Amino acid sequence: MQTNALEEATLTDTTNEPQPETPDTLSSPQQEPPEPETTALVETEPDVIEGEVIEIPSPEASEEHTPPKQKPYWLLIPFTVLACLVFVAVSSLVPLLTPSATVTIIPIERSITTTAAIKVQARAIAPLTLSQSITVPATGKRQQAATRAAGTITFYNGLLTFQTIAKGTILTGSDGVQIVTDQAATIPAANPPLEGHITVSAHALSIGASGNIPVLDINQACCATSVLAKNTTVFTGGRNARAYSVVTKSDLASAEAAIQATLTKSAQAALTTQLYPGEALITPPCKLTVSSDHKPGTEASQVTVTVSETCRGIAYISHDVYASATQMITKDAAKRLGSGYSPIGDIQTTIVKATAPSTRQGKAQIIVQVTGTWAYQITPRIQEQLAALLAEKTKQQALAILLQFPGIAGAQITLRGGNQTLPQDLKAIRILVQYNPDQIQMLVSSLIAGEG
């Protein structure tokens, strides 16, 4: 639009410019030669574009217009927190102020154990023999008292008459050890060329091993005319006092137990490697052979014990045994307890004994002990009946009703809302059933006394 205005102004200026006047035509036929024009340079002013000028007013700030204020969003945080606190407080107070009751019931539980023989598919595993030795110190302690050496003395007589040597005669050997005779010696007379002689017992005067004299340590004349004394054999039995160790039965038993535990684990692991998927292992008692290098009571500082163990295994289908055992104990529980009881927890099976499977049928007889726990079932229908019976009853009355109800071993009641009786509204009575044998620790008398 501004361009069009400028163009219109330019056209207007061109129209308004003074046009040069046309000289009048001379009436005379001759025209005078034109005089030369003199051109004067006149300073010119810049052209001014005339036309309509539109002025666009600049926007002025209105004094009455106020800029918008920022909204206080930060106030939402404390209001939100306050609302949450109020909600939590109300949620906590409403259950407390609303009459309600919580009834915890512990049903009667019975543990049942039974033992029976089960025939299952099985196979025998080849026997395995393992051996191991161990050396342990001997722990027996004994004290040895000092003893005297003993032997014999032979007296020789060169006279033609007999001679007598008194009992207790002391003889001294070449090493200085003194020997005492234990009896009187009557020496026969000599019969030339042979001498008369007699041998009597004797012992060393001092106690200990020093009295163990060698042969002919005593070889001398003594005691009477033409009498010679000799020890023709060694003296033995002389020992010094000392303490020493001996092997005991407990040494052998402890060594055997240590080896057997290791061998049993090794044999178990070796037999387990021969199982097929789904099979379990039974290991009948292994055959043990025990030997040692010292017997109990013998002197030794240590003893080496060797144990050999021969084990065999029976592989059976574990699922079959567990299924048969579970079926068996379930029937037994139904006969003993009647209806209304159901098992809780796992059923435990323990293999007591097993016989090797026959080669013809491939079945083994397993003696198994089965243990399980059965509890009376407080069904939802029974819970509704109990709630109806307990409504508007005091705690003592409600406890008495519960403890007389079949299948209930114990109970506990908690009231809320300040009431002394259970609510009339059955929906406000909450019944919890607790199946846990360890919780049966409350007596009826203590419950009633505690509530009072």
- pLDDT tens, 91-116? 665 555 577 899 999 999 999 999 98
Average of per-residue pLDDT across 28-53: 45
Percent of the chain with pLDDT over 70: 77
Q: What's residue 41's pLDDT?
A: 41
Tell me which residue of 45, 46, 52 sits closest to 12, measured CA to CA.
52
Neighbours of 376 (CB within 10 A): 23
Question: Is residue 39 pLDDT above 90, yes or no?
Answer: no
Contact between 319 and 326 (Cβ < 8 Å): no
- When the pLDDT of each residue in the chain is averaged and rounded to a whole number, the result is 81
Pick the closest to residue 154 from 211, 210, 202 (CA basis): 202
Euclidean distance between CA atoms 417 and 93, whole angstroms? 10
In the block, tokens 């307990």 appear at 390
What is the tens place of the pLDDT at every residue in 44-68?
A: 445 544 545 555 555 554 445 555 5
CB 423 within 8 A of CB 100: yes
Q: Which residue has the higher pLDDT, 190 or 51?
A: 190
Structure token pair of residue 405: 């109800």
pLDDT of residue 440: 40
Computed on alpha carbons and rounded to an integer, the radius of gyration of the chain in Å comes to 65
- Collapse the DSSP code of 90 into the 3-class scheme (helix H, G, I; strand E, B; otherwise coil) and give the result: helix
Whole-number pLDDT of residue 233? 96
Instruction: Evaluate if residue 1 carries a pLDDT over 50.
Output: no
Euclidean distance between CA atoms 181 and 179, whole angstroms: 7
d(CA 367, CA 406): 36
The C-alpha angle with vertex 57 and arms to 52 and 61, in degrees rounded to 5, equals 175
Are 234 and 214 spatial neighbours (Cβ–Cβ below 8 Å)?
yes
**Is residue 452 pLDDT above 50, yes or no?**
no
Q: Which of 81-85, 87-91, 234-238 has the lowest mean pLDDT?
A: 87-91
